[in-house]
Structure 1
Amino acid sequence: FPASLSGGAAMLKNFSAIFPEVSLCPTGGISNSNLHEYSSLPNVFALGCSWMIPKSCVASGDWQGVTVACALAQQQFTKDAA
């Protein structure tokens, strides 16, 4: 669901109190600058993030660049989730 349009990280945090058994995968409006707001929540198990893959890498077929960008995002998510 589009997390940023639906109340953002604050709403997801509130959901964890109401629905403690539910894990979420928010998408929409998530970027490198606010990734930690979502990934640090206990009820978020993954994020849908198109920003992590540079369009220029896809357009030029730079799959190594895509791999590196995704690895960096994964490192940040893993660090925040720890």
Structure 2
Amino acid sequence: MYAIIAKREFYGPRTVRQLLADPTTRWPETFADQEAARAQVKELDSAVYYLSHNESDRPTYTVHRVDRLARRFREEIAGTA
């Protein structure tokens, strides 16, 4: 199982890393295989993106295996965060 982490950069400097969430349920999205996750990243990179307040650039998306994520991300996926 795979997940996508969005790394957002803000002026200040400040960096925020968060799991990509489903826009309707707000739960982290997981993908059965790496190719499906990469296809989602490709779609996100080609879509229009509006910067948030003080955000310096669009997010950088990376695909990770769920079992290799940091503990806080694994717990968020499991629903225990």
Same fold (TM over 0.5): no
TM-score, normalisation: structure 1: 0.29
TM-score, normalisation: structure 2: 0.29
Kindly name which structure, 1 or 2, has the bigger radius of gyration based on alpha carbons: 1
**Bigger relative contact order, structure 1 or 2, given CA contacts below 8 A and separation 6+?**
2
Q: Flag the structure with higher helix content.
A: 1
